[in-house]
Structure 1
Amino acid sequence: MKPPRHRLAYCRRCHAPIIWCLTSANGRRQPVDFEPTEEGNVAVSSGADGVLYVRTVTAARPDIKPGEWQAMPHHASCTSPPPRRSGGGGQRSTSGVRPVPWQR
């Protein structure tokens, strides 16, 4: 099965064709490559409300059900991913720290 053509969008960074889906776990938006692939680790399906939903293909649920197609998350295949954010790692500021010990 292939995604509907009217759902086609393009990545802002690499301009590859993608579709936007909602994750079944928490309802967040996730970009998925437009073309289905056997190497993908997500299953995409169209809900009764017309929204595309995506779930991760895991060892517990490895099968692709009828009406689903296998695809790759676009974060894994983007040729121009956003730069990684640093985790800080440097000196932390001490603003907002209580200057005296807690008293009971």
Structure 2
Amino acid sequence: MKPATRHLTHCSRCRAPIVWCLTTANGRRQPVDFEPTEEGNVAVMQGPDGVLYVRTVTAARPDIRPGEWRAMPHHATCAAPPPRRSSGGQRAAAGAVRPVPWQGRQG
């Protein structure tokens, strides 16, 4: 099965055809490659509300149910992925004291 063309859009970085899905785990948006593939590690289905939903294919749930198709998350296949963000920003050295503005005594 293949998603309907009304769901089709393109990646803003590499221009590859993708569809946006909601994850079944937490309802977050996830870009998925438009073309189904047997090597995919997610299962996509269209809900009764017309929205595409995606779930991860795991060892505990490896079966593809009727109405689902396998696909790849677009983050794994994007030809022009976004730059990686640092995970902590600038961290202070261990044991460092944060500077505090000087306050004069009032007398």
| TM-score, scaled relative to structure 2 | 0.84
1:12-23 map, 5 Å: 12-23=12-23
> CA-to-partner distance for each residue in 1:67-104, whole Å, 9 max, x for gaps?
000000000000100000112374428379xxxxxxxx
Distance across 1 between alignment mates of 2:17 and 2:26: 24
Distance across 1 between alignment mates of 2:99 and 2:65: 53
Percent of aligned pairs with the same residue?
73
The equivalent residue for 1:57 is 57
The equivalent residue for 2:73 is 73
The equivalent residue for 2:98 is 94
CA RMSD of aligned residues (A): 1.8
Letter of the 2:21 counterpart: C
Q: Which runs of 5+ in 2 are unaligned?
A: 101-107
Letter of the 2:45 counterpart: S
| TM-score, scaled relative to structure 1 | 0.86
Structure number, greater radius of gyration? 2
Letter of the 1:14 counterpart: C
Matched residues, number:
96
Q: Residue 63 of structure 1: CA displacement? A: 0.4
